Structure 1
Amino acid sequence: MKLDKVIWGVLLLFIGGVLLLDNFNVIEFYWRNVWDFWPVFLIILGVNILFNRNNSQTGNIISLSILVITLSVLFVKGQQRPERGFWWNDRGNHVNIDMDDDDNDSDSNYSKLNFSEPLIAGDTLKKTILNISGGGTSFNLKGETDSLFSADVKKRNGNFALNKTTTDSVNTLTFKMQNKNNRRGWSIGNGGNDVDIRLNTAPIWEMHFGMGAGQIDFDLSNYKVRTFNFDGGAAELDIKLGDLLPITDVNVKTGVADVKIKIPTGSGCRIKTKTGLSSKDFTGFIKVSEGLYETPNYQSSTKKVFINFDGGLSSFEVDRY
């Protein structure tokens, strides 16, 4: 048997075994821990090219030995809970996502900004589209406001802008970070930007998030959210949905991310996945077919949540509360 087939077979067995153990909660595996070891596979490829021309038994043994040792180290390393996660943004820059929730009030290397859009007559009857984008930024929903939208920013990089357009039936708010000239790596919570957002609870919201690397923590249980779309690279997404509308659509597309979604127990939910090598934890769901999951009350419930996951190497978790 050719060595390259053996190597691919061992790799697939390793990845499949880790995903299986992770899905059944036998282990908790953090894929972000293993990315720094990717050059080892170039070494294995180089050894294979050098020795395989002469069908060298020594070369085969060296390649397999390096692979087995590497996978053993990765298996141990991947189970260590990271104090901080290291990712790559869409420009190839190193991004440090701080996993520590402690506030660093001693850091004075930032400027404070405030953005607000007032609530005017008729806004509560309109659908409101909220577009948010920005890299290296932590977005947190801090509660309600009498305005339509407000944001308190601790800015360490880039510039922020808030724009509003309106029609007879729709308000569109665009809150985005512009960072065309800054190519440095960012650290969320310790060198990145922090944005505390407050939203009015009256409108029906349609939310769109786009970011290369970042963090979103939104408790939307008291908001009427019709649509929540997220398109991100290396990100952490933690949202909690309510049941104030008959239907809520959630679409999540990620590269390498940690995604957690909470839904009400009384809402019927259907999940469709296209997740590659991602891990999935859908407690309380029934697997209907490959890539399709439903709650037991999906058919009978008058409130429904539809979730679509599309991810490369991510962790997807949906809990009911």
Structure 2
Amino acid sequence: MQEGSGSNQENKSDNTGGSVGGGASFEDRADMFAQRVEESAERFGNRMEKQFEPYKRSGNVVWALFLIFIGVMFLLNSTGVVGWNVWAYLWRFWPLFIVLAGVQILVGRSRAAGALVSIFAVLVLLCVGFMSLLAVRSTVVTDWNVRLPQWFLDVVSQTNGVGDELSQEATVEVDAFENVESRDLVLDVGLAEFTLVDQDVEDYLHYDAQFYQNFGGPLLDRSFTNNKLSLKFKQMDQHSSVGVSKSPTYNFTLGAVDVPTSFDFTVGAGSGEVDLTKVKVNDLYIDIGAGQMDLTLSDKSIPSDFKIEIGAGKFVLTLPKTVGFKLNYSVGVGSINVGEENIASIGKDDVYRSDNYDKTDLKVTISAEVGVGQLKIETK
């Protein structure tokens, strides 16, 4: 009996030990379970990485091609080959990136599929780039002696969406306003190309415009107060803010040159040539975004001072050699040149005086703020 009792006690002890050991075994089992989950997750991750590796490779190639394309377009913009208005046309093709993603999924995961997607992306980007170039520079076909099928030209014309080409003329006649002692002229040309010349004619202002139906026509506002004639010219709102790629052109003729005139020019991404050699300029303010403007003044038209603000654009000022000038400037990462001399370094505020500034009675003070653009002053 005692033997049996001992046996039962031993079994009881084993069971008790098993109970205690069971607690330890639970922790061990939990650790083993966590380890197996971690290993399974790692194997699953490796498997998925292998499966999506071709997508990653081809996706990286497509992304690299896209960056190269964007960089080339910016280079063409900054060198003046293509206007900044090309981006309004390029924006129309953003759904093509969804198409490229769909093609990438359809063709599979092989290396050959990745190469196929890359080739397709190159062809798409080349086609879009050339269509955009053709839309903003219609002479590219003749300049490069390129023969294109008519269906391709029709596609470019349809995607351009600017509508019919229109023309308009307007004149502010001398008989419309009497006893004009001074005049303000404000030109806000945006993306347009324009010219302005002063001539010995009676009318205060005349312009002829060529623009496209869906771009919006010009608007000239006239007011007369206290013997001052105010003329404000502005490009009307576009019918749509996206997809307009062809710039309008405006040619202005300023008459009544005996009337002292103040000028305010705002040039967005357009370009203009202004020749003021006869009219007396009272005040002058020029604001250039990403466009370009050339201004020629004479000893008869030179004001006592004026201000220039340049963002990413370019402004060329031509002064007579008889005029001395003082330039108060602030430049970011752009440049300021007087003739062939670069007088401004990055992030510099300073004052520059022409060699003849202290030797002549005809002087002008210029205040200039240049961001990443360029200011160039020439004398003739």
Do the two structures share a fold, i.e. TM-score over 0.5?
yes
Cα-to-partner distance string for 1:102-134 (whole Å, 9 max, x where unaligned): xx9xx9941110111011498675111001113
The one-letter code of the counterpart of 1:253 is: E
Q: Where does residue 82 of structure 2 map in the other structure?
A: 84
Q: Where does residue 312 of structure 2 map in the other structure?
A: 256
Q: Cα 1:293–1:118, aligned 2, differ >3 Å: closer, same or farther?
A: same
Q: Where does residue 317 of structure 1 map in the other structure?
A: 376
Alignment counterpart, residue 283 of structure 1, candidates 319, 339, 345: 339
Alignment counterpart, residue 139 of structure 1, candidates 169, 182, 194: 194
Q: Which has the larger radius of gyration?
A: 2
Consecutive unaligned residues of structure 1, counting only runs of 5 or more, are 1-65
Q: Cα 1:285–1:132, aligned 2, differ >3 Å: closer, same or farther?
A: same
CA contact (8 A) 2:278 2:301 kept: no
Q: Is it true that 1:163 corresponds to 2:221 in the alignment?
A: yes
Structure with greater helix share of residues? 2
CA contact (8 A) 1:226 1:247 kept: yes
SS in 2 for 1:256: coil
Cα-to-partner distance string for 1:28-87 (whole Å, 9 max, x where unaligned): xxxxxxxxxxxxxxxxxxxxxxxxxxxxxxxxxxxxxx9xxx9xx99xx69x95432436
Tell me by how many angstroms 1:265 deviates: 0.6
Q: Distance in 2 between matches of 1:93 and 1:252?
A: 31
- Within 5 Å, give how 1:4-19 maps onto structure 2: none
SS in 1 for 2:268: strand
Tell me by how many angstroms 1:236 deviates: 0.4
The one-letter code of the counterpart of 1:263 is: L
CA contact (8 A) 1:231 1:253 kept: yes
Q: Where does residue 251 of structure 2 map in the other structure?
A: 196
Q: Distance in 2 between matches of 1:256 and 1:183?
A: 21
Q: Where does residue 33 of structure 1 map in the other structure?
A: none
SS in 1 for 2:295: strand
Structure with greater strand share of residues? 1
Q: Distance in 2 between matches of 1:172 and 1:237?
A: 22
The one-letter code of the counterpart of 2:289 is: G
- Within 5 Å, give how 1:213-228 maps onto structure 2: 213-228=269-284
CA contact (8 A) 2:198 2:279 kept: no
Q: Where does residue 95 of structure 2 map in the other structure?
A: none
Q: Distance in 2 between matches of 1:99 and 1:285?
A: 36
Q: Is it true that 1:307 corresponds to 2:358 in the alignment?
A: no
Q: Cα 1:85–1:151, aligned 2, differ >3 Å: closer, same or farther?
A: same
Q: Where does residue 206 of structure 2 map in the other structure?
A: 150
Tell me by how many angstroms 1:143 deviates: 4.6
Q: Where does residue 114 of structure 1 map in the other structure?
A: 169
Q: Cα 1:248–1:242, aligned 2, differ >3 Å: closer, same or farther?
A: farther
Q: Cα 1:125–1:192, aligned 2, differ >3 Å: closer, same or farther?
A: same
- The number of residue pairs the alignment matches comes to 241
Q: Where does residue 37 of structure 1 map in the other structure?
A: none
SS in 2 for 1:244: coil
Q: Distance in 1 between matches of 2:264 and 2:351?
A: 24
Q: Where does residue 42 of structure 2 map in the other structure?
A: none
CA contact (8 A) 1:274 1:291 kept: yes
- Within 5 Å, give how 1:172-191 maps onto structure 2: 172-187=230-245, 191=246
Greater shift in the superposed pair: 282-291 or 249-258: 282-291
SS in 1 for 2:174: coil
SS in 2 for 1:291: strand
TM-score of the aligned structures, taking structure 2 as reference length: 0.55
Q: Is it true that 1:230 corresponds to 2:289 in the alignment?
A: no
Q: Where does residue 15 of structure 1 map in the other structure?
A: none
Q: Where does residue 8 of structure 1 map in the other structure?
A: none
The one-letter code of the counterpart of 2:358 is: Q
Instruction: Answer 1 or 2: higher relative contact order, Cα 8 Å, separation at least 6.
Output: 1
Q: Distance in 1 between matches of 2:178 and 2:355?
A: 37
TM-score of the aligned structures, taking structure 1 as reference length: 0.64
SS in 2 for 1:234: coil
CA contact (8 A) 2:182 2:260 kept: yes
CA contact (8 A) 1:286 1:295 kept: no
